[in-house]
Structure 1
Amino acid sequence: MGKVIAVCTSERRGIQKTNIHSAQFRENWGIEGDAHAGDWHRQVSLLSFDKIEAFRARGAEVGDGAFGENLVVEGIDFRSLPVGTVLECNGVVLEMTQIGKECHSHCEIFKKMGECIMPTEGVFARVIRGGTISEGDRMEVRRV
């Protein structure tokens, strides 16, 4: 079981996201108001809080949403779960669709640190059932 630490969105792609603390997730679409929402397989991005903390321990000064992640969750190592894993949080159901991503243009984090964790540690999901997710909500792995 995990705990949602941050809920982040951005109005356009290619920029850091901002923690809005709570958001509406729409079935087969993603997060209302987020640039990555749409009818595709990467509607929501997730990153493990523990991986962010380890990166910070190496000297990175990054805030919530810095990697372009929508959800920061403590207590779940998303990278260790297979594609198809079903996650549930406050009635919202997400299905993992992709692990990692190709980094086409190195972000500011990469330029400063020489690496970025989103391409290897980030995962993506589509929204199976909508609802609201807020900071502090519990997330469970329902099916692997």
Structure 2
Amino acid sequence: MGKVKGINISEKKGVVKKPIPEGHFIADFGLEGDAHAGKWHRQVSLLAQESIDKMTETGIKGLCSGKFAENITTEGVALHLLPVGTMLRIGETIQEIAQIGKECHAGCAIRVQVGQCIMPKEGIFTRVISGGMVKVGDAIMLLEKEEA
């Protein structure tokens, strides 16, 4: 279906995340060491490289994986078109789409640096159902409910 193009982490919310080669994702928590991890429905954020490319086409320079504070940058998956409840196998993990898009908060560092943010429309958020490692280059597969 698709692949992991980047894994990104930050210790503070609302800032650009830094790339890492792999991450440990904990069931019902999220990416170990990330500010957004916790016992809530937006444990992991994902954004498609194709969405980032749309922003680049508007003339914004310097956009790369993590610039929109996403934990996982994907390639080959129209994430925002998948319904809430969709189960994904990402690397060793199984994650469930819990929310599509979000309201961009006031004072968002991404909006200040980039001028606008695509996460409110095309970013998705998942809950980690089954934890494990995710590495850059790992496959992303859509699962049927009975496979999860």
Shorter-chain-normalised TM-score: which range? over 0.9
Once the 2 structures are TM-superposed, how far is the Cα of residue 7 of structure 1 from its aligned partner?
0.3
Note the alpha carbon deviations across 1:51-90, whole angstroms, 9 max, x for none. 1112112122222111110000000011100000000022
AA of the residue aligned to 2:138:
D
* Aligned residue runs from structure 1 range 95-134, under 5 A: 95-111=96-112, 114-134=115-135
Other structure's SS at 2:41 match: coil
Cα offset, 1:105, TM superposition: 1.2
Unaligned runs of 5+ in 2: none
Report the Cα distance in structure 2 between the residues aligned to 1:74 and 1:14, rounded to whole angstroms.
Answer: 23
Q: 1:10 to 1:112 in 2, by over 3 A?
A: closer
1:51 is aligned to 51
**Post-superposition offset of 1:109:** 4.5
Deviates more, 1:111-120 or 1:42-51: 111-120
Where has structure 1 moved over 3 Å in runs of 4 or more? 106-114
Query: What is the TM-score with the length of structure 1 in the denominator?
Result: 0.93
The alignment partner of 2:125 has SS state of strand
- Which segment drifts farther, 10-19 or 104-113? 104-113
Contact kept, 8 Å, 2:15 with 2:110, in 1: the verdict is no
Task: State the superposition RMSD in angstroms.
Answer: 1.5
- 1:15-54 pair list within 5 angstroms: 15-54=15-54
Once residues 109 and 13 of structure 1 are traced to their aligned partners in structure 2, the CA distance between those partners, rounded to angstroms, is 11
Query: Across the two proteins, how many residue pairs are aligned to each other?
Result: 144
